[in-house]
Amino acid sequence: AIEGVCVAGGLELALWCDLRVSSETARFGVFCRRVGVPLIDGGTVRLPRLIGASRAMDLILTGREVDAREADQIGLVNRLVPRGQARSSAEALASALASFPQATLRADLCSARRAFEGPMEELMKDEVIRAKDALELEASEGARRFGARPRFEAED
């Protein structure tokens, strides 16, 4: 959850997160550029992977401020919410993710994180191996849920 100013080390911490929920009034930037402090917590590696090299270079080299709308447009954040609702929205998102079958979620997360770490063929094979392992753990329950009849309660 990002509420307020997210710069320098705070920005780098946010880049370590798989998903970022931001208030519409948040501000972002590599403000440490302005005082001669380098990024040291993965910002120069994670930011280009997240938003692309050109956009990352703009932020890294200029130290300019980015408002929440632009952060959303360039993929720096995943969700924009009204001011004061970032934390509750992030907690709701986390709760929704926690309700999913975890083996399949972890398998897909691991494969997605490795997406740029090797040849496509190798990564595709790795994805299949992870998927098979997850299916062995959760497939029967998933099939049961998929085939279950929905229950609708009559409205009064």
- pLDDT tens digit string along 81-110? 999 999 999 999 999 999 998 988 999 998
Both structure tokens of 150: 């929905």
pLDDT value for 156? 47
Question: Closest by alpha carbon to 97, among 13, 19, 2?
Answer: 19
User: Do 22 and 72 form a contact (C-beta atoms < 8 A)?
Assistant: yes
Question: Closest by alpha carbon to 76, among 12, 122, 143?
Answer: 12
Q: Residue 113 contacts by C-beta under 8 Å, 6 or more apart in sequence?
A: none
> Mind listing the pLDDT tens digit for each residue in 30-83?
999 999 999 999 999 999 999 999 999 999 999 999 999 999 999 999 999 999
pLDDT value for 126? 84
Task: Using DSSP, state whether 48 is helix, strand or coil.
Answer: helix
Check residue 155 and report its DSSP letter.
Answer: P
pLDDT value for 146? 67
> Mind listing the pLDDT tens digit for each residue in 122-133?
888 888 888 887
Question: Closest by alpha carbon to 17, among 109, 130, 102, 104?
Answer: 109
Check residue 31 and report its DSSP letter.
Answer: G
User: Which pLDDT band, with edges at 50, 70 and 90, does 141 fall under?
Assistant: low
Going 10 to 15 to 19 to 23, the CA torsion angle's sign is positive
pLDDT value for 28? 98
Tell me the residue ranges of DSSP E strands in 31-111. Answer: 66-67, 79-81
